[in-house]
Amino acid sequence: MKAAISLLTTTNSKNLNLHSSSATLSRSALLNPKPLSRSPSFLPPIPTKIHHTRIDFSGKSHFHTNNFSPVMASSYRPEQARAPPALPLPAPPVTKARYFYVYILFKIGLCQLSVTPDKERNVAHARKAIEEAAQRGAQLVLLPEIWNSPYSNDSFPVYAEDIDAGGDASPSTAMLSEAARLLKITIVGGSIPERSGDKLYNTCCVFGADGKLKAKHRKIHLFDIDIPGKITFVESKTLTAGQSPTIVDTDVGRIGIGICYDLRFQELAMIYAARGAHLLCYPGAFNMTTGPLHWELLQRARAADNQLYVATCSPARDTESGYVAWGHSTLVGPFGEVLATTEHEETIIIAEIDYSLVELRRTNLPLLKQRRGDLYQLVDVQRLNSE
């Protein structure tokens, strides 16, 4: 009998949101990067003995060797700790080389926005922030959760948009699409209330540099909590839970998407890591009760456990609104280190992401080789059903 950490929902195999390429890339190809438009591809498995040589910009050489016992790794059966087995980390499409050091470097913009009851103002304001982030060098821009509407069950039905219909039926996503195309950037569009038939969802849309919708994530875990004397909120009064994890290949790497409360569920992040994600993006709006205690803690945990980047973006704090957001949009690195963060006011954070650190940290701490597949297993129900 397998001990399994199981994903909450079983979905149709045709609905698998894993947009990836089957092309193969050699390490020699990494040293001679192709243009950014090439499709993501997979690196060969990390060998038992690994040598890393790097010459940084100061001209100093760095040499590091790790030796692992193949007997120990074999007895642990780490390849069985994931069902289906974990995918190799794909080669990021943003690659630069200098001397003998290959690095994958780009800028991310986190737009912590003030949100008002004026939807037209919110849309125009978000566009201005996206343009400013792009002008400051961001190739990937992340917006907050529910940035076009007040965060309340009363507001969700009023502000909801038909994303699939597009155009005038969804002015918020029409703006995101146009901004991504004109600025030639990738946009993880926070989240907005979505109307689909007779159901409402809390939905995040990802747009590529061509302006096309690459993925749509509906919040999987609804925010239904009751902390007496502090905060009570029941999203399920109006919203329906999404039924599918969402991972998407973009011009800036493979990204796993979650929305706010999704951050609390480590199984989702682990599944994204097993699907080869470089970065997890969580638009969110933690409150003044759980924010100080858990917001940064959970981000660092998801990053350190899975040895990848985690980016979050919150609305700015408005003490006059019915729901008061904690703020503190943040970027965390694959060692669990806070690379950039802010306080609660409206601002735009620009920070650098270097994907070579993901492989470095996974070499320093070889968790992939040390998982006890003989004792436990993570089951990705969606992938398992699609194979």
Please list the active-site residues. 145, 219, 260
Give me the DSSP letters along 27-84: HHHHHSPPPTTSPPEEPPPPPSEEEEEEE-TT--EEEEEEE--HHHHHHH-GGGGEES
Distance, CA of 196 to CA of 270 (rounded, Å):
29
Strand pairing class (199-207; 192-196): antiparallel
Q: Which phi and psi angles does 39 have, rounded to 5°?
A: -75, 145
The encoded tokens of residue 282 equal 């969580």
Name the burial class of residue 385, with classes exposed (0-12), middle (13-18) and buried (19+) by CB atoms within 10 angstroms of its CB: middle
Distance, CA of 320 to CA of 186 (rounded, Å):
33
User: Among residues 163, 160, 325, which one has the least CA distance to residue 238?
Assistant: 160
Quick one: how far is CA 180 from the chain centroid? 18
| 8 Å CB contact between 287 and 318 | no
